[in-house]
Chains A and B, each alone.
Chain A
Amino acid sequence: MKRGHVWKATLLLMAGWWVISALLLPAPAAARDIKVGIVDTYSGPAAVFGNDALNGFKLAVDEINKQGVLGGKIVFTTRDEQFKVDIGLNMAKELVMKENVDVLVGTINSGASMAISEAVAKKEKVPFFVWTAKSENITGKAGHRYVFSTAENTAMAGKSAAVALSQKPFKKFWIAGDDYEYGHALADAAWRNLSKIKPEAETIGKTWWKPGEPDLIPYLTAIQAAKPDCIIFATGGLSMANVLKAIKATGMKTPAWIHTATDHSVLKPLGMNAPEGVMGTIQYHYYYPDLAANKKFVKDFQAAYGNPPGFPAFNAYTTAQLIAEGFRAAGQIDKEKFIDAVEGLKVDTPVGKVEMRACDHQAVYPMFLGTTKISKEFGGAISSDIITLRGAEVMPSCEEIAQARKAK
């Protein structure tokens, strides 16, 4: 054989081998985008929280997509649940069945979050991140492999309240709040912890109003007539501003604790007329702690949306980081591997590293305890005399979570 023929035959063999290999071997998985389905409230009074969370998520996703995740991007689609359980549930189903989302995210409504967790996430085996709803039952007794919470929950808020109130000379308490899942869960958590730390504390009465009840003055005048030492308000976003407004309108002097009373989105509309001295707890302030990462987050958020971020934006930002880092750690877009990767994962956030606790899928946040105080610099009330309670101090232990789930 001539040298030229050998050369041609070799080339032909190589080409043949390449063609056969290409036909027989499985093609490498093409990089694709990670689809996130968001169900939250974008109409009605709670829209302010839904929009804040969405903006925080968008900001994080824009940053993440510059680098990409597994060769693709994070893309998302939103649905307005209108703060209704049935609508939220239907929309979550639609996102999973029709849109084939890889991850579900939402919502501010604790009832809707519980329903989606049980009927969609668990049933369809789709990871679901609850980013604003705060019922401890979500990752507590009703928790399971497919649900995560990047919101602080009522157990954490209740424990923080108990720590704060047990150090005050109060004995007679009145509990008042929203008559739905969140309100009752928060009141239960606060009282469960307080009565444990301070056994002499007693509840002299309870009042429940419908979520979003606009005029709370009749409720506050009636409570004040009973002369409690302190009022525990178990209210959410819908009623929060109304409670603060009623406190101011009635000139109430009775000490009060309200979870998220120190949230700026609640205090901002009241401006310099916000009531002072109201005790509040929250896991995020745009002005505290004074860290470089937080300053950058606030600056970017303000530049993009014109307002400083609230706690929903912070929660959503953390959620986006967990989704991105979770898929990167999993190495592929596989829901089960993603869940395994997210368990115990620590991600960078504006307030430092945040861990997704493996035993209950609850984000570990510190809680900031403070009281409202008017600040001319901020043009309204902010949280003052802030005391930081570490996440481990205020969260139920993994054993308690296991017991609660077993008891269920």
Chain B
Amino acid sequence: MDVTITFAGFFSQVLVGLSRAMILFIVSSGLSFILGVLRVPNVAHGSLYMIGAFTAHGIAVLLGEGMVGFLAAMIVAPLVVALISLIAERALFSHLYEREHLMLLLFTFSLALILGDLTKMTWGADYRSLVAPPVLQGSVSIFDTAVPRYNLFLLVVGPLVAVALYLFSSKTKIGKIARAAAVDREMVGAIGINVSWVFAFAFVLGCFLAGLGGALVAPTVSITLGMDHTVIIEAFLIVIIGGLGNIWGAMVGSLIFGVSQSLGVLLWPQFAIVFPYLAVVVILTLKPTGLLKSVW
């Protein structure tokens, strides 16, 4: 084997890994937010990501798969997921917040199975593919190596979502209340704030991010049943290594996960699949509570 690793190959691989990390961040930050504020380990988060992808495809096809259809899909699909989650929160979750974590885990697992079957009933078992608008198709040459344009687009969108989340949680009143509720929800309730609606808002926002992740990932993968399983495992691992409930921890965890996977493919392709999990094992061995401060 006479393969040598060039700087160009390394650089493009880092870029692709970072773009993959952006999707993981958007999904896992939503999961982390719900974990932090509501203490709910939402296994159904992956199902909402899958519904986001299927909905985005449906909207894009309806509007002709051009730039208009793509942008509409990216905006409307997360809102549809948010609406579904609002109904689920008011009808189901709002009555269960005080239950034990194990009970909540089983409940959300059941919900994931139900949503999986509903997805199959609604969209069927066929593969689907969302096409990016022409401007985001193909690749650009960076240091003589092809990097897909859509991945560069994700590199822009990811940090924008991160900044928006930061501004929301630190500059808005409801964001500050949600952060306070994450630390001490009894105290937030004691000072007269309607905690029920704060929780509803936090849940819907977290699920919106799952839907956004599903919509954004749709042009890079096949939209299929079962895409929820892979992402929920990765998202939980990211949340755990980043620090439970810490959104910036989700960012750090996503970067580690995405880049280690991408570089693993380049450095040791025969065993590429173990790299991100190896990183998780090393981190949890050295720092069992995660890299950043856990709110639990």
Answer whether A and B are interacting partners: yes
| Residues of chain A at the chain B interface (Cβ within 8 Å) | 42-45, 47-48, 50-51, 176, 179, 203-210, 212-215, 217-219, 221-226, 241-242, 245-246, 248-252, 265-266, 268-271, 273
Instruction: Enumerate chain B residues within 8 angstroms of A217, measured Cβ to Cβ.
Output: 16, 20, 148, 151, 220
Contact of B145 with A by CB under 8 A: yes
Asked whether, in the complex, the Cβ of B120 is within 8 Å of the Cβ of A47, the reply is: yes
Query: What string of 1s and 0s marks CB contacts (under 8 Å) between B269-288 and chain A?
Result: 11111000000000000000
Residue of B nearest to A216 (CB): B221
* Main SS at interface, chain B: helix
Chain B nearest CB, measured from A374 CB (Å): 13
- Contact of B217 with A by CB under 8 A: yes
B100 within 8 A of A: no
Q: Which residue of A lies closest to B230 (CB)?
A: A214
A-B contact count (CB 8 A): 147
Q: List CB contacts (< 8 Å) of B1-37 with chain A.
A: 1-3, 5-6, 8-9, 12-13, 16-17, 20, 23
Shortest beta-carbon distance from B80 to chain A in Å? 21
Q: Are B138 and A251 in contact (CB under 8 A)?
A: yes
Is the pair B16, A225 in contact by a Cβ cutoff of 8 Å?
Answer: no
Check if B150 is an interface residue, CB within 8 A of chain A: yes
B266 within 8 A of A: yes
B222 interface contact, C-beta 8 A: yes
Question: Across the two chains, which residue of chain A brings its CB closest to B9?
Answer: A225
Candidate in B12, B20, B145, B221 with the most chain A CB atoms within 10 angstroms? B221
- The segment out of B122-130, B172-180, B198-206, B236-244 that lies at the interface is B122-130
Contacts of B229 in A (CB 8 A): 44
User: Across the interface, do B226 and A225 meet the contact criterion of CB distance under 8 Å?
Assistant: no
Interfacial chain B residues near A221, Cβ < 8 Å: 9, 12-13, 16, 145-148
Decide yes or no whether B170 CB sits under 8 A from chain A: no
The reply to whether the CB of B131 lies closer than 8 angstroms to some CB of chain A is yes
Tell me whether A250 and B146 are in contact in the complex, defined as CB-CB below 8 angstroms, given that A45-B224, A45-B226, A48-B126 are known contacts. Answer: yes
Interface positions of B (Cβ within 8 A of A): 1-3, 5-6, 8-9, 12-13, 16-17, 20, 23, 116, 120, 125-129, 131, 137-139, 145-148, 150-151, 217, 219-222, 224-227, 229-231, 261-262, 265-266, 269-273
Q: What residues of B have a CB within 8 angstroms of the CB of A47 in the complex?
A: 120, 125, 225
Docked complex Cα distance between A16 and B228 (Å) = 74
Check A207–B13 contact: CB distance below 8 A: no
Instruction: Tell me the minimal C-beta distance from A120 to chain B in angstroms.
Output: 26
In the bound complex, do residue B13 and residue A43 qualify as a contact, i.e. CB atoms below 8 Å apart?
no
A222–B224 CB distance below 8 A = no
A43-B225 CB under 8 A given contacts A204-B1, A221-B16, A251-B146: yes
Q: Are A245 and B222 in contact (CB under 8 A)?
A: yes
A238 to B155, CA, bound (A): 27
Q: Complex: how many Å from CA A187 to CA B226?
A: 25
Write out the residue numbers on chain A whose beta carbons fall within 8 Å of the beta carbon of B219: 249
Q: Which residues in B have their C-beta under 8 angstroms from that of A251?
A: 138-139, 146, 148
